[in-house]
Structure 1
Amino acid sequence: MAGIYIHIPFCKQACYYCDFHFSTSLKYKDELLEAVLKEISQQKNYLDGETIETIYFGGGTPSLLTADELNLIIGTITKLHVVNSNAEITLEANPDDLDNAKLKALRQTNINRLSIGIQSFFDEDLLWMNRVHKGDEAEACVKRAQDMGFENITVDLIYGYPLLTDAKWKQNLDKVFALDVPHVSTYSMTVEPRTALASFISKKKQPAMDDQQSAEQFVLLMDAMQTRGFEHYEISNFCKPGNYSRHNANYWKGVKYLGIGPSAHSYNQEARQWNVANNAKYIAALQKGEIPAEEEILTEGNRLNEYIMTSLRTIWGLDLRMIEKIAAGASPDLVKVAQEYFERGWITQKDNIIYLTPNGKLYADKIAAGLFF
């Protein structure tokens, strides 16, 4: 099985914290769509004929595409690949795009999962982030989508930024629970270089993020999700039992995927490749029949470290048998180095699998880095 990711690099306006590749101009949308279709065709052999289990439209804001444009991309994929009849097909969307007309049109496509970027239900927070939508719009669009027949919905929330008190964070979570969505993705606000937020902080126009606040709100999040019966199946992701994001879960399980579009990444278990993060260069290359990508062949150490980093973040844990499969004789070394984290109560082991404890989830990146080969 395998997945396909489509990067649509357009947004109405730039969120202050975002460092993904995007453009706020739709001037070259038609040319880019044509280039995407060409890349799908030229990359048809990348996945070695494996059945496509998931298709994911990310960005940017792929909900800016029309239903016809989305159908054209999906149709091109189905002509060139074997796509599972129950494939998960996800569209990332902003609340302001999901009016009744758009939702009705999306119901005529094969898209069966919506990922809605809510981030907060508070208008002042959304303004601080430079989001387009309002809080009540976010709540209303989820209800509209449900009324229109979309049951598989995930929403995004952000925590750990100066305006978000613990009381407001709890209210955001309560609103999500009231909406009865099966999946929630949550992210601590991070300050990435070359973003507007980084510039504001460097110029003292905004305070720096508070790591202690983020940690405390992460604990509040875990407690609230557990109380509501959600599974914490990956550091940033929670779902009602069994309602995992199949596409993202496959990333963490090391399943092959093909990335289409500017800045998109691909992985075939032996190498990684990534497309140029420039719309004009991407379009020009595809017009000449070229794939505008760089490639890195993964060494044994790369594959070990990647498995450690991804597996440890999940409910499925780090399997020492997989470590041995990648590199014979490596697991005793890993267990030896991990002893410090066992003693601190950050990890635990059952049979051959190492898991993060609830306290260890606060230090996931630190633990993974400490176990790298």
Structure 2
Amino acid sequence: MAGIYLHIPFCKKACHYCDFHFSTSMGLKEEMVQAIVRELELRQDYLQGQHVQTVYFGGGTPSLLNQQELQLLLATIKSLFIVSDDVEITLEANPDDLTPQKLQELRAAGINRLSIGLQSFHGPHLQLMNRAHTAAESLRCVQDAQAAGFGNITVDLIYGIPAPDHSLWHQDLATLFSLGVQHASCYALTIEPDTVFGRWSTKGKFKAPDDEFTAQQFETLLEQMQQHGFEQYEISNFCQPGYESKHNGNYWRGVHYLGVGPSAHSFNGHSRQYNVAHNKKYIDALKQDQVPFEVEELTLADQANDHLLTTLRTSWGCDLHKLEQDFKYSIREAHAGYLQELQGKGLAIIKNEVLYLTDKGKLLADQITLELFIEKVEKA
């Protein structure tokens, strides 16, 4: 079981919060698709014959690809890899791209799961973030996607956006639930240094809400999701029963994946590969039949930390026995006092050899994980 991720590094506009790799110039799009095809050909042995269960078009804005480009990429994958009959094929899309005609083209190309970047249903918030779509388009595109036959739709929302109170967040959630989508990914606004918001913050032009304001919105999110029958299977991800993202779930379970395209990452259990985050350098290298990446060999400590980082964010928790058996590391010995503190404060529980964060603990997930990280694990 494995996955394939394709990074499509083009956007119409630069969102003020985004630090992913992309370009707003489409001049290299056709060459980029050909370069990605060539990378797939050159790296067809990376997954070592494992069945591909998921294909994920991320970015950037993959909905900028046309039907022929999508069909070429998917046909290449199916010709080079063993693809499961029930493969989940996700495409990230912006609402302004999803016309009824475009939706039909996506269906015809083979996309069976849509991830729509709504971010908000409030016009001024969309303008603040420099999104390319309107609030009306946020509503319309989901309804059009459902009418086009998409029965597995996830939408993205952002909370912790500057506002005088929580009323707009309550409205966003109410609108989300009214749409009847199967999945939602909800992220706290993060101010990254190399973004417009980051630069504005440095100059005093932008001020993010304080941690308490954002935490209150997260707590509202958890309450509302539970009331509407959504399961929280990862800190930021919620689904109706049976609609977990297989692709993202596999990331958190440590399943191997191949990442193609500029800035894409790959993982095979013992190493990670990082493609160059530069469109022209990527294309030029592939024209010479070279894949421009760096490799990081993972030590046992790295693998243990990865296990902690991913599983503590999920509903299935961190398997302490697996840490001890596979990575020769016992959290219970190294952090006995801290684990007792976490449980005493209601931040975590240990049940059947598994460490889980409580709802209260999920607010501090990054901090807790860093405390449990290990600097070195000796090989057996």
Q: Which moved more, 1:216-225 or 1:161-170?
A: 161-170
Once residues 194 and 145 of structure 2 are traced to their aligned partners in structure 1, the CA distance between those partners, rounded to angstroms, is 35
Aligned residue number for residue 199 of structure 1: 199
Aligned residue number for residue 341 of structure 1: 342
Name the SS for the 1:37 alignment partner. Answer: helix
Q: 1:344 to 1:148 in 2, by over 3 A?
A: same
Aligned residue number for residue 56 of structure 1: 56
Once residues 334 and 95 of structure 1 are traced to their aligned partners in structure 2, the CA distance between those partners, rounded to angstroms, is 48
| Matching of residues 174-213 of structure 1 within 5 Å | 174-213=174-213
Structure 1 residue 368 corresponds to structure 2 residue 369: yes
Aligned residue number for residue 77 of structure 2: 77
Shift of 1:204: 1.5
Once residues 322 and 104 of structure 2 are traced to their aligned partners in structure 1, the CA distance between those partners, rounded to angstroms, is 45
Kindly indicate whether the alpha-carbon contact (under 8 Å) linking 1:122 and 1:135 is maintained by their aligned counterparts in 2.
Answer: yes
Once residues 271 and 165 of structure 2 are traced to their aligned partners in structure 1, the CA distance between those partners, rounded to angstroms, is 43
Kindly indicate whether the alpha-carbon contact (under 8 Å) linking 1:303 and 1:326 is maintained by their aligned counterparts in 2.
Answer: no
Kindly indicate whether the alpha-carbon contact (under 8 Å) linking 1:320 and 1:331 is maintained by their aligned counterparts in 2.
Answer: yes
Q: 1:266 to 1:164 in 2, by over 3 A?
A: farther
2:24 maps to a residue whose letter is T
Once residues 328 and 17 of structure 2 are traced to their aligned partners in structure 1, the CA distance between those partners, rounded to angstroms, is 42
Once residues 276 and 366 of structure 2 are traced to their aligned partners in structure 1, the CA distance between those partners, rounded to angstroms, is 27
**Which structure 1 residue ranges, 4+ long, deviate > 4 Å from structure 2?**
none
Kindly indicate whether the alpha-carbon contact (under 8 Å) linking 1:143 and 1:179 is maintained by their aligned counterparts in 2.
Answer: yes
Kindly indicate whether the alpha-carbon contact (under 8 Å) linking 2:303 and 2:327 is maintained by their aligned counterparts in 1.
Answer: no
Once residues 320 and 335 of structure 1 are traced to their aligned partners in structure 2, the CA distance between those partners, rounded to angstroms, is 12
Name the SS for the 1:244 alignment partner. Answer: coil
Where structure 1 has 5 or more consecutive residues not aligned to the other structure, the ranges are none
Name the SS for the 2:262 alignment partner. Answer: coil
TM-score by length of 1: 0.98
Aligned residue number for residue 2 of structure 1: 2
Once residues 223 and 334 of structure 2 are traced to their aligned partners in structure 1, the CA distance between those partners, rounded to angstroms, is 30
Kindly indicate whether the alpha-carbon contact (under 8 Å) linking 2:112 and 2:150 is maintained by their aligned counterparts in 1.
Answer: yes
Once residues 318 and 252 of structure 1 are traced to their aligned partners in structure 2, the CA distance between those partners, rounded to angstroms, is 10
Shift of 1:163: 3.1
Kindly indicate whether the alpha-carbon contact (under 8 Å) linking 1:9 and 1:21 is maintained by their aligned counterparts in 2.
Answer: yes
Shift of 1:329: 5.0
Once residues 298 and 329 of structure 2 are traced to their aligned partners in structure 1, the CA distance between those partners, rounded to angstroms, is 19
Shift of 1:171: 0.6
Once residues 64 and 334 of structure 1 are traced to their aligned partners in structure 2, the CA distance between those partners, rounded to angstroms, is 49
Kindly indicate whether the alpha-carbon contact (under 8 Å) linking 1:338 and 1:371 is maintained by their aligned counterparts in 2.
Answer: no
Name the SS for the 2:363 alignment partner. Answer: helix
Structure 1 residue 353 corresponds to structure 2 residue 333: no
Aligned residue number for residue 158 of structure 2: 158
Aligned residue number for residue 288 of structure 2: 288
Shift of 1:110: 1.3
1:278 maps to a residue whose letter is H
1:43 maps to a residue whose letter is R
Once residues 118 and 334 of structure 1 are traced to their aligned partners in structure 2, the CA distance between those partners, rounded to angstroms, is 43
Name the SS for the 1:11 alignment partner. Answer: coil
Aligned residue number for residue 377 of structure 2: none
Structure 1 residue 251 corresponds to structure 2 residue 251: yes
Once residues 284 and 233 of structure 2 are traced to their aligned partners in structure 1, the CA distance between those partners, rounded to angstroms, is 41
Shift of 1:213: 1.1
Question: What is the RMSD computed on CA atoms of the aligned residues?
Answer: 1.0
Shift of 1:209: 3.7
Shift of 1:161: 1.6
Where structure 2 has 5 or more consecutive residues not aligned to the other structure, the ranges are 375-380
Shift of 1:341: 1.1
CA deviation digits over 1:10-38, x for unaligned, max 9? Answer: 00010001000000000111111110000
Once residues 203 and 335 of structure 1 are traced to their aligned partners in structure 2, the CA distance between those partners, rounded to angstroms, is 41
Q: 1:329 to 1:139 in 2, by over 3 A?
A: closer
Q: 1:197 to 1:186 in 2, by over 3 A?
A: same
Once residues 164 and 178 of structure 2 are traced to their aligned partners in structure 1, the CA distance between those partners, rounded to angstroms, is 20
Q: Which moved more, 1:324-333 or 1:105-114?
A: 324-333
Shift of 1:107: 1.5
1:70 maps to a residue whose letter is L
1:344 maps to a residue whose letter is K
1:33 maps to a residue whose letter is V
Once residues 165 and 361 of structure 1 are traced to their aligned partners in structure 2, the CA distance between those partners, rounded to angstroms, is 23
Name the SS for the 2:313 alignment partner. Answer: coil
TM-score by length of 2: 0.96
Once residues 182 and 94 of structure 1 are traced to their aligned partners in structure 2, the CA distance between those partners, rounded to angstroms, is 18
Q: 1:329 to 1:258 in 2, by over 3 A?
A: closer
| Matching of residues 36-47 of structure 1 within 5 Å | 36-47=36-47
Name the SS for the 1:345 alignment partner. Answer: coil
Once residues 197 and 209 of structure 1 are traced to their aligned partners in structure 2, the CA distance between those partners, rounded to angstroms, is 13
Q: 1:193 to 1:43 in 2, by over 3 A?
A: same
Aligned residue number for residue 139 of structure 1: 139
Kindly indicate whether the alpha-carbon contact (under 8 Å) linking 1:114 and 1:154 is maintained by their aligned counterparts in 2.
Answer: yes
Name the SS for the 2:290 alignment partner. Answer: coil
Aligned residues: 373
Shift of 1:9: 0.2
